[in-house]
């Protein structure tokens, strides 16, 4: 299977894992050793402002940082990740495509809400991970759909609409999805 890096992984309605029910996951890494991604449509009960206050109580509360932090996945839920539009200069960043970077260092969080912040960003806690061949097996079992990442879905679509918009990008009406698996 080709690498699914910089793709969206869309949970099928029939996926029997309550954690991943109707999720959209941005795949950051996918190779022979497994896959790693960040769920981009499940908010946690913390805003970016509240997260920043937990990191440093002296940081000012900024009204523009009222957006929800998202659950990136069930693994390492105390670890933060920022998916953002390309911008150099952060301590720990990696370009995932020409439209998306990931940063794991605190310096980007402190810059949010300032003129130093990236134009677009999503803040997550935790990540989703798959062992070697596991994601491929789940796709063959009809648990997931995939599509190349659309940065408009990632950064501009309201959180609660991302799953529907991602399926629409494939030209699929979710009302017509079947749980039956067919392979030619």
What is the domain-level CATH number for residue 106? 3.40.1740.10
Say whether pLDDT at 129 is over 70: yes
pTM: 0.91
| pLDDT band per the 50, 70, 90 thresholds, residue 58 | confident
**Residue 113 zone, left/alpha/beta (φ > 0; ψ -120 to 50; rest):** left
- Report yes or no on 183 lying in a domain: no
Question: Does residue 105 belong to any structural domain of this protein?
Answer: yes
Q: How many domains are there within the chain?
A: 1
Residue range(s) defining the domain that contains residue 129: 7-176
How would residue 59 be classed by pLDDT, with cut points 50, 70 and 90? confident
28 inside domain: yes
- The residue count for the chain: 184
């Amino acid at each position: 299977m080709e690498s699914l890096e910089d793709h969206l992984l869309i949970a099928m309605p029939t996926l029997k894992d309550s954690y991943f029910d109707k999720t959209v996951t941005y795949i950051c890494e996918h190779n022979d050793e497994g896959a790693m991604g960040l769920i981009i449509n499940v908010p946690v009960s913390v805003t970016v402002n509240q997260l920043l206050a937990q990191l440093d109580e002296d940081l000012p509360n900024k009204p523009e940082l009222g957006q929800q932090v998202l659950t990136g996945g069930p693994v390492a839920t105390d670890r933060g990740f920022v998916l953002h539009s390309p911008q150099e200069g952060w301590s720990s960043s990696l370009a995932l495509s020409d439209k998306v970077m990931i940063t794991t260092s605190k310096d980007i969080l402190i810059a949010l809400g300032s003129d130093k912040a990236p134009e677009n960003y999503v803040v997550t806690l935790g990540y989703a991970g798959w062992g070697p061949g596991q994601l491929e097996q789940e796709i063959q079992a009809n648990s997931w759909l995939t599509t190349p990442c659309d940065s408009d879905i990632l950064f501009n679509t309201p959180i609660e609409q991302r799953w529907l918009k991602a399926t629409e990008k494939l030209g699929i009406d979710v009302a017509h999805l079947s749980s039956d698996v067919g392979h030619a």
